[in-house]
Structure 1
Amino acid sequence: MSISGIFPIDRWNFTTQSILNVLSEEDYNFLISNQTDHHYQKGDVIFREGTVPSGIFLVRSGKVKKYKVDQIAKEQIIYIANQGELIGYHAVLSEERYPDSAAAMEDSLVSFIPKEDFADVLLRSPVFMQRLLKALSHEFTVLANSISVFAQRTGPERLAIALIVLREKSKDEFKEDQEIVLNISRSDLANIAGIASENVIRLLKEFKNEGILETDGRKIMIKDIKLLVKRANYK
């Protein structure tokens, strides 16, 4: 079921999957001509906050989380990249160190693309540069909205919003007639919603009792998206 009209998903969700689609075949082949593929297991770190970037990364399969860690080692997940998405390009564009870290949420295949090739393609394709700037602008809007709203939301509302965004983010992995299944650890879900893991477990049970969702181990199936949106209390 679409949530268009009942939840402003564009304020919460962004993706870089469409950016590469504007490249010509020649420019795309040039971009990936010197790429190297790396297999990461769940939990493997792809890059760390504060290190100097030497390139960007293209998620070929699996899921990658971008996150920050505070002084007491608490993790805050700020984005989840799916297959076909680029990560690590912010630091390359700004010529600064990585502002966050990235790690595989599941077994993933990720291609490393040297920053020189990325920079050359930006010069070769003005359309690609425009699309990237548009994506960056929307990403800033989404992050600003998240910071503002999450600071004022209760635990149940935060979790509901996180589940809605994850559901929309996962839709492309399933056929139209298939049930969308979220396969995520409770700790990762807690780090997205910004609440304790024990509260996530308790709230999932509440949502299950209310008929909003079903669970099977790590898997979460949203059964009533309208009730979940109501739980998010987002206007």
Structure 2
Amino acid sequence: MVSKNLIHEGSPVCQTCAQKNSSVFCKAKVEYLSEITGQKVSNTFKKGQTIFNEGSYPFGVFCINSGKVKLTHLGDDGKEQIIRLLKGGDIIGYRALLSGERYSATAVALEDTHICFIPKELFIHILKNDAALTFEMMKLLADELHKTELKMTHLAQKPVRERLAEILLFIEETYGFEEDGITLNVRLSREEIANLVGTATESTIRLLSEFKRDNMVELDGKKIKIINQKKLAKTANLQD
């Protein structure tokens, strides 16, 4: 079910939203943005709070205004698997809505996160009438499929050390650095990083220590500083 333990706040105006140009709504018609502004509901989810649960039915889509979110899937062994990391401007819950299925993942706030909820009927109405928005959604779905294919290939072919290096670079690409220019701008537990890599927590802890020894990262609790990005990319075996 969708979480009801929310803090209601003033809704940002879609036309002037700071995340508009980085979202699928970047080319939506002004008239439809006005409709969304008038009908959406804006809420703040506290750190660790569930936005929606795997197995529940969608009643709309969620657009992240600010903050960070993880999507997790419960495996057959009962363990949580992180399948996506999201940030401001990203939209979630659309795949289940468009396919008419239940949510295949649970969305959880990684920090206090402000989210706009757009009702199903309004979102579908706009998709049917705004070709530009529909095209942006098609590009989003294609990009998601491409990333899934790459992840499956890497899980099958890359050793854990390379996958961990690549995940650290992916986290940097997603959330960037803090003001010092080297500290990843998100706090993830070792278990969460292991889930992203697809390995045991113990292996992640050991490899992070090796990365520190090899002067690629510095570790301070959940803070991870990337001090040699080029060497980390080489370890990840990424193509130039």
Asked if 1:113 is matched to 2:156, the reply is: no
* Among candidates 176, 181, 184, match of residue 184 of structure 2: 181
CA shift, 1:174, in A, is: 5.6
Answer whether contact 1:31 1:121 (CA < 8 A) is retained.
Answer: no
The answer for the alignment partner of 2:46 in structure 1 is 41
Q: Which amino acid aligns with 2:192?
A: D
The answer for the alignment partner of 2:195 in structure 1 is 191
Identify unmatched segments of 5+ residues in structure 1: 1-15
The answer for the alignment partner of 1:220 in structure 2 is 224
What does the per-residue CA deviation read over 1:17-51, in whole Å, with 9 as the maximum and x for residues that have no partner?
Answer: 33111113322121232222222222221112221
What does the per-residue CA deviation read over 1:109-137, in whole Å, with 9 as the maximum and x for residues that have no partner?
Answer: 22211111111111231001011101111
What stretches of structure 1 move > 6 A for 4+ residues in a row? none
Q: CA RMSD in A?
A: 1.9
Asked if 1:59 is matched to 2:81, the reply is: no
Identify unmatched segments of 5+ residues in structure 2: 1-20
What does the per-residue CA deviation read over 1:64-119, in whole Å, with 9 as the maximum and x for residues that have no partner?
Answer: 11121112221111111101210000111111111222111122122211111111
Answer whether contact 1:122 1:128 (CA < 8 A) is retained.
Answer: yes
Highest relative contact order (Cα 8 Å, sep 6+), 1 or 2?
Answer: 1
What does the per-residue CA deviation read over 1:139-198, in whole Å, with 9 as the maximum and x for residues that have no partner?
Answer: 101101101211222221111111111111123x767x8445242221211111111222
SS in 2 for 1:50: coil
The answer for the alignment partner of 2:15 in structure 1 is none
Q: Which amino acid aligns with 1:181?
A: L
Answer whether contact 2:183 2:223 (CA < 8 A) is retained.
Answer: no
> How far apart, CA to CA, are the structure 1 residues paired with 2:80 and 2:191?
9
Answer whether contact 1:156 1:203 (CA < 8 A) is retained.
Answer: yes
> How far apart, CA to CA, are the structure 1 residues paired with 2:99 and 2:37?
21
Identical amino acids, percent of aligned pairs: 36
**Taking structure 2 as the reference length, what is the TM-score of the superposition?**
0.84
**Taking structure 1 as the reference length, what is the TM-score of the superposition?**
0.86
For these two proteins, the number of residue pairs brought into alignment is 218
Asked if 1:27 is matched to 2:39, the reply is: no
Answer whether contact 1:54 1:115 (CA < 8 A) is retained.
Answer: yes
The answer for the alignment partner of 2:18 in structure 1 is none
> How far apart, CA to CA, are the structure 1 residues paired with 2:231 and 2:181?
20
Q: Which amino acid aligns with 1:60?
A: N
The answer for the alignment partner of 1:99 in structure 2 is 104
Answer whether contact 1:52 1:98 (CA < 8 A) is retained.
Answer: yes
> How far apart, CA to CA, are the structure 2 residues paired with 1:32 and 1:93?
21
Asked if 1:130 is matched to 2:130, the reply is: no
